[in-house]
Structure formats: structure tokens, C-alpha cells
Structure 1
Amino acid sequence: MTGIPPRTTDARPRGEPLPRDAVVRVIPRIAEVRDNDRNILDVSQANEGRYSIARHQRFDRSVSQAFAETHVRRLEAMRRARFDVTREADGSWRISSEHLEVAERFEQRDVASRPVAIEVLGSGSVERMSGMEAATWLDRELASPSGLVMRDAGFGREVRAGLDQRRQWLVEQDLADTSPSGVRLRQNALALLQRRELLRIAERLSGELGKEFSEAKAGDWIEGKVSRRIDGISGRFALIERSREFTLVPWRPVLEKQLGQQAGGIMREAGINWQFGRGRAGPEIS
């Protein structure tokens, strides 16, 4: 399957309920200036105190559109919080020479309101995950060179047992190989598991919608109505509907406000640069 990235961790937006039986990690948040903040300042200082995606790409020709857009989203968050960044009528941003100090204050306030981050590692019980035909948290732990350190008691013992069961299942499915050093996932195992789940979801939706499923591949132009979010085990998908067919593509938070609206974009390995509205003449949003 092309274009559906592996699901690693899933930071929950504020107010969004956790799935039932979710496996989560609670991580203390640290208030610190980000690399994006430093990049914004560097670009602006080379451009008379202005930042924009075009200026960023001229400043560093290796920068992709999607990467530059993460900087714009950072500035938007700071602007909404009424920190010292200003968006001009042409879409560029006026950046203070003290931008890093502004960014640090923004982070301190944000961390004070949310001192920890809750990341969903997987949904469903460990026992249930051990036999799922999808890319589960257990698979990502098995594929990780380090993995989590689990104590042999309580939930840790449950996870250890689940990992052992999952290893056996993966070998039976020809998705992992055994060796003297243990069980190792095959190179494309996660992608195959993700695609199996995608096709299973697509089959269900095809019967529900009465439409044919068109699988999205890198380089395809994706266009249609953003109908809803589909939550899978391997990740989240956006249901994009056309008159006679539909497709499933990686979900992005920016799509939340576009539900029911027309959108289009080119499918790439890292996702889609979306253009919204029927005219879709505006800027692309990753």
C-alpha cells in the first residue's frame, strides 16, 4: 500500500476522548524553543523581518513545501494565542528580532496549561492485538531496535505475553522469520498489515456506500468530498467520496474543518498537500 504511513504514536487533541481499552504513554512536556522557531528567525533575518513559505524555500532550496508549512502552522498557533507574530495581507509573517524569546514564552504558557502529553500507542486489549490483521502497537514494538522496557509484573507481564503471541502469529503469517537471535519482522511486514486493514475497511465501506473503492497510489491526483474520518488500528484515514467511487487516504488534523467540503491534492509518500474549495486556487496545506 502506498501513501499510508505507519502509525507510531497518536498525540490526542485537547478534549478528544481516549478509545476504550487504549494503551497510552504519559510523557512530561518540556518548554523549549523548537528548531522551527530558529528556522523562522533565520529566514526572516535574511528577508527584512519577513517569513513565508516562498522565502523559506529560496533561503534553503532543500526545504519541501510540507516542511515549510509546519512553520506556518507554528506561527498560526502563536498568533491565535496572541503572541508577537503578525500575518500580513499577502500571507507573509512579520517576525520580531526577539522571536526566540517570544517562542519560549509561548511554550512556557502552553506547558503550564498541559504539563503532560498523552499518546495513544494502540487501541484494544493486548490479547486482542496479538491476533489482529493490522499493523498494531505490538508490531511497531517488535520492529523497533530499542522498544519499551517492561517489568515482569502486572501490565508489563501482559505485554510480554502479548509480544510472544504476536511473534508466533507473524511467523505463521509469513510476516516474520525466526533466527538464532530471535524473531525478526520482514522488511515490508508493517506495510502489508496496513494494506490488509485498509482493504478490509474499504470492503465494508463499499457495501455501505454502494460505491467502488479506488486505492490511492503515489502520484495520483486525489479529489472529492471529505466525508468523514475512519479510525483504524494501523492509523486514521480520510474517506474521500466521488459520485461513483471513493478512496481512503491518510488523515490529517487540518481535514477536521473541511468535513463535507471539496478537496484535492497529489498523493505523495509523505501524504497529500491539500487544496480546499471548489476552485482550489489557494495555498496548499499538508
Structure 2
Amino acid sequence: MPGISLETAPMTDRSEYAFRPRLGRIRSLGNAKRGRTFTSRLARAISRAGPKGRAGPRRRQRRPRIQGGRRVVVKARVVRMAGSTRAALAKHLRYISRESAMRDGEEGHVFDHASEDVDRADFATRAEDDRHHFRFIVSPEDGSEMADLKPLVRDLMSQMETDLGTRLEWVGAVHHNTAQPHAHIVLRGRRDDGRDLVLPRAYISHQIRETAEDLATRELGPETRLEQDLKLARETRAERLTKIDRSLRKLAGRDGRLTLTDTPPRYRQVNHARLKRLQQMGLADFEGGGTWRLDERLETRLRTLGERGDIIKALNRAARNSPGRRIDPDTRLAPGARLTGQIARLSAGGDFHDETLAAIDTPDGRLISARLGANVDMLHLKPGMLVTVSRKSGTARPSDRTIKTVAHANGGIYSASLHQAHDPRATPDFVSAHVRRLEVMRRLGLAERRADASWTVPDDYLERVAAIETEKAGAVPLSVQIDSHLTLAQQVKAEGLTWLDEQPETGWAHGFGADLTAARRQRWQVLQARGLAEAGQQSLSAEQSEMLKQRGMEHTGKTVADSIGKPYRALPKSGTVEGVYTATVTNGQGRHAVIEQKASFTLAPYRAVMERSRGMSISGTIKNGRVNWIFGKRRTRGLSR
């Protein structure tokens, strides 16, 4: 019975079934371990002993690394499915199948065990009801020597099917956009019998990698002693975290000290060369007698240096197409700062290549790197676009200011009752939110909880909170706003209103700034030649801007009309709109959705949330040029009438 757990008493002569009831909390299920049935405990014991059949992966004994075996890096991530995750899965599939990451001449697609071109939208739809899915990156150390990674991926997934005792549904894509060819794999979290697919930690951590290494060794043959020595020699000079560094860290004691004579004789020369290089970098000290001391932040600082090296490489690649630019890998936007520029190059970053890294060409002639995070759709960004990147401001929250106000009025003490007395309109939930905020601050050492459930708030509370928020803001990826989908050259000849038309005269004379100044001058010449601006005019009037907007939309509508064979009807400033969302189109004023009716179509401002309804009927209410959309098949009066 829930709430009561029975504890058997020792048998006595008086009663064979004596027991003592021990009451629990109301609605409590008691101790979960006691509540397990015999069947569930038996199944768990069998699973721990090594399940066979379909209950889980067949455990193989951990093998020592084969001498000469090829190394493969396998990164795994389990993603639980939720409302937003479903859209993220479709976005991830579009990302891994983009053409820019493929080998030159290859079309963007995903493959599986039998097909070279799998319908990714269909795969995402089938995975919608899964509890979770798995994402893998498989990167052989010698992948550049392999003709194609697809056979390795297919063999790896086939062996996983054997281990797990079930057919697996997966798609993959091979990327050649980095120095190390690698494969992305998305695996559904469902077995062929409909149950959830569960992979034990040890299987993900070791067995998948070991299988991939066996397959790579089988294809390329064992690694020779000369190959191993050459790889290690290159690592001794690297400004990043290497296998040698990890080995040295394991050999060192808690104080970071290690003696070179205690290292394996075969690698002693390599270790010494690496330690000398670390000493030059300020990450190791020689204490005499063959003893070295490693920096306690060795791994962190080497990872940072590796990331900086990757940034410099990306900026150098971008500079090839942007002569006269100065590479600046160390610029970091301060909290609350904004920067406008042109995208010079895009690349993928992060452990799972799911972050967007952009090389931004700034007006003062610099090339900087901006980490845009995993929430930015890389497919919607293109080199040449004009963007503004910004960092979240690191300031105290309104709740922090309220806490400080209440505490200041009560001698530095805050409590729920004092808050209620200070603001009688505050609801209990509102006050509880402030208490939770103080609990977070307590764990950071910014507040002290007293025995009577009140809080001691220091005088410099807001300043210290702002410092913490500033530090957090520095670790968050930058936000990006697309100012123009058109390049500067496209904006010069555009029919409608452009970003360039709204920019003031500047004195930039270097890099992108010089290009911007020249493009603005050419744009005004075009507008004057078309009779849309007067000679000597430096800015557009409100009437001129509105006229250019209408002209641009009419030109875009005519272009789309010629393509789909339906007449264009302008979006009214108020009323309703209804139709099927079929495509998107961009012009100088941004991105627009094509909404088709039976006999015509209209263009409406695009929103990312519309993607889930592409090909479906949508409707919306228009007010002051803005549309409040209703998705699905609900119909209202609109333009289709």
C-alpha cells in the first residue's frame, strides 16, 4: 500500500507472521528498492551479468589497445525529444547534409545502410515520437588516407546491430570541410520491436570506438612504427592538447611533478621534447634532477590555445578572399556591445560541430571571429550578408533590484514577509521567485540564509551580481541579426529599399569600410539615374523610402509570378491573409514567405516558426503591417475570397 512499507519481524514462538507497520508520508511510494518485484530484480541481475538476446548489447570484454591499431575518435550525444527538439532534429539533418561540407562536386544528402540519398524529412517525421535519439561523430585519425568513410560507417552500424540484437534506423553524412574527414550519424532511439533503444555508458564510451578502430585498422592495415614516431614528433611541437600531454598528466602526481626516468623508455625522448616545448610556452618548469612540474591548468590552457589556433586558421582562409584585411583573433565583444559587418566566411565549431563560427569583416578593416552558437541556422546565413552581432548585457535582474530595495529598507535583511509588507500587491508566486533567486546567489556566496528563513543581503549586492552576470554573458554565444540578405554589390542595383539606402555617410577608408563607402556612392548614382533621388541628396525622405519599399515588393512579386504562373497581390496593411506556405524569397527588405491561394499569391514577412507548416495551409491577422499567424488547416476569410 502506498505510504506504508512493511518490515518483517523475526519469527517468534507466539506468531509466525508478526510484523511492525512503519508509516510513511502521505502518497509516498516508500523506498524504491524495497518496492521492486522479484521479477524486476531478477531482470536487473541478469542485465548486470551480461544480457543476451534482445534485452541489451552483448558485452565484450574490454580489450587492450592492439599494437599498431588505428585510432578513431567517437563523440556521442543523447538528445531527448521535446517540442523544440523535433525542429532542432530537422535543422541538424539539414546541417549535416549541406553541400558546402561535402567533397567537391558531391551533392548534399544523407545515406543509410542501403541508400545513398535518404529523405531526411521522412526520417525526422518517423523519429518525432521517439523518446530520444543519438548523435555520433566518427573521425578516424587517418581518415584522409581512406578512399571513403561510408563503408566504415555502414560496417560500424552493422556491428552495432549485432551487438544490440536489433535492426537500427540511422542516417549519416561524411564531411570534408575540415582537416580531418569525419562522419555524422543520427540514430533513432527505438528498437525494431518498438521499445526504447538504450545504450549503456560503457558501450558508448568504449565499445563503439573499439569497433571503429578495428574496422579502420582492417582497411588501412596496422600502423607502422615509423608512422607512430612521425605522429608523436609532430605532437611535440603542437600548440594544443595532445595525447602526449594527457599521458604526462597521468604520470604526474597530485602536485604536478613527474620524473622523466619514470616514463616508459620508448617514449622518453618524445616526452622530453614535449616538456621542453611546454616550458617555452610557460606551462612546465624544470626543477632539476630530471624532475618537471606541470602547470595545474595545463589542459585548460592548451585547449584554449588550440581553439585560438583554429580561429586563426579560419580567419586566414577568410582573408584569402578579402585582401587588405587585418586578422584579429583576440577581439571579444564586451557585454552589451554590438558590431556590424559583413560575413566573410562560415564554419562549424563545438564538440559536435553544431555551433556556427563566422568570420566578420568589420568596417575598420579587421577580420574577427564570432561564435554564434547552436541555435543559429547556418543554412540561412551566407557569406556576403550584412549582419549585426551583439553580446547580452551583464546587468542585475529586476528581481535583484527588488531584493536590494527590500533589504535596504530593513537593515540589510530580506524575507518573504518583509517583501509582502513592502509590496502588498506581490503574489506568493512572485515572492517565491525572489527567494529562489536568493538561493542561487547564496550558492555563489552573494547572500546568507539565516535560521529564521530570512536573508542577509550585502551592501554591494547589485555590483557583485552584475559582475557575475557579466562573466556569464561572456561565455554565451553571440546573438546575430541579419541586416541584409543581399551583398553590397547586389544592393547597389536593387530595385527596392536596401540597408545601404539607410546608412549615413562615413569616412571609413580600409577593408569593408572602404567597400561600404564606395557602394553607397554608387547606389546614390543609381537612384539618381532612375529619378528616385535628387542630385546632391544624402538621405531618403519618408515618402521616398515608402515608394522604394513598394517598388521592391512589386519587382519581387513579378519575379515570383513569372516562376509559379500566378499573379501577385500585395499584402494589405490590415485584415486577414490565408493560403498555403510554399516557399521563401529574399530582397533588399529581408526574407518573405510565399503564401499561395487558388488563383494568386502574396508575400508576407517570414518567421522561422513558419517552417513547421511549409506546404500547409496557414492564416493570419494583419495589423499595422505585422501578421499574427495561425498554423494548421483552420480557415478564415482572407485574400483567397
Q: What TM-score does the superposition give when structure 2 sets the normalisation length?
A: 0.29
* Aligned counterpart for 1:217 among listed residues 572, 577, 602: 572
Counterpart selection for 2:632 from 269, 274, 277: 277
Determine the structure 2 residue equivalent to 1:81: none
Q: 1:215 to 1:167 in 2, by over 3 A?
A: same
**Pick from 109, 117, 123: which aligns with 2:479?**
117
The reply on whether 1:96 has 2:458 as its aligned counterpart is no
The change in CA–CA distance for 1:32 and 1:125 in structure 2 (over 3 A counts) is: same
Partner Cα distance (2:432, 2:499) in 1: 41
Using the TM superposition, give the Cα deviation of residue 233 of structure 1 relative to its aligned residue in structure 2, in angstroms. Answer: 2.2
1:1-286 equivalence runs, <5 A: 14-17=376-379, 18-32=381-395, 48=427, 96-97=433-434, 112-114=475-477, 116-142=478-504, 150-178=507-535, 182-279=537-634
2:534 match: secondary structure = strand
- Which residue of structure 1 lines up, in the alignment, with residue 250 of structure 2? none
Q: Does the CA-based 8 Å contact 2:389-2:481 persist in structure 1?
A: yes
- Which digits, 9 at most, give the CA deviation of each residue in 1:202-244, with x for residues without a partner? 2222232222222111123101112222222211111111222
Deviations 1:19-53 (A, max 9, x none): 23223333333244678xx9xxxxxx9584679xx
Instruction: Give the superposition deviation at 1:272.
Output: 0.9
How far off its partner does 1:111 sit?
Answer: 5.9
CA contact (8 A) 2:393 2:473 kept: no
| Distance in 2, Cα, partners of 1:206 & 1:157 | 37
1:220 is paired with a residue whose SS is: strand
- Decide whether the 8 Å contact of 2:619 with 2:634 is kept in 1: no
- Structure 1, unaligned runs of 5 or more: 1-7, 39-44, 52-93, 282-286
Contact 1:265 1:274 in 2 (8 A): yes
Cα-to-partner distance string for 1:55-81 (whole Å, 9 max, x where unaligned): xxxxxxxxxxxxxxxxxxxxxxxxxxx
**Do 2:584 and 2:606's aligned partners in 1 also have CA atoms closer than 8 Å?**
yes
Contact 2:620–2:628 (8 Å) recurs in 1: yes
Q: In 2, distance between residues paired with 1:173 and 1:100?
A: 60
Q: CA deviation at 1:271?
A: 0.6
> Structure 2: any 5+ residue segments left out of the alignment?
1-339, 342-371, 402-423, 441-465, 637-641
CA distance in 1, matches of 2:611, 2:474: 24
What is the percentage of aligned positions where both structures have the same residue? 23
d(CA) in 2 for partners of 1:236 and 1:95? 43
- The residue identity in structure 2 corresponding to 1:164 is R
**What is the CA-CA distance between 1:109 and the residue it aligns to?**
6.0
User: What is the CA–CA distance in structure 2 between the aligned matches of 1:243 and 1:118, rounded to whole Å?
Assistant: 37
**Change in 2 beyond 3 A, CA 1:246/1:128:** closer
Question: Aligned in 2, Cα 1:50/1:219: closer, same or farther, shift over 3 Å?
Answer: farther
Residues 226 and 258 of structure 1 are in contact (CA less than 8 Å); yes or no, is this contact kept in structure 2? Answer: yes
Residue 46 to residue 209, structure 1, CA distance change in 2 (3 Å): farther
Match of 1:77 in 2: none
How far residue 280 of structure 1 moved from its aligned partner, in angstroms, is: 6.5
Give the Å deviation of 1:200.
Answer: 1.9
Residue-pair matches, total: 217
Structure 1 pair 212–229 and aligned structure 2 pair: CA distance change class (3 A): same
Distance 1:99 1:235, change over 3 A: farther
**Structure 2 Cα separation of the partners of residues 208 and 219 of structure 1:** 27
Equivalent AA in structure 2 for residue 177 of structure 1:
E
Distance, in Å, in 1 between the alignment partners of 2:376 and 2:582 is 22
Q: 1:107: Cα distance to partner?
A: 9.7
| Aligned mates of 1:97, 1:112 — CA distance in 2 | 25
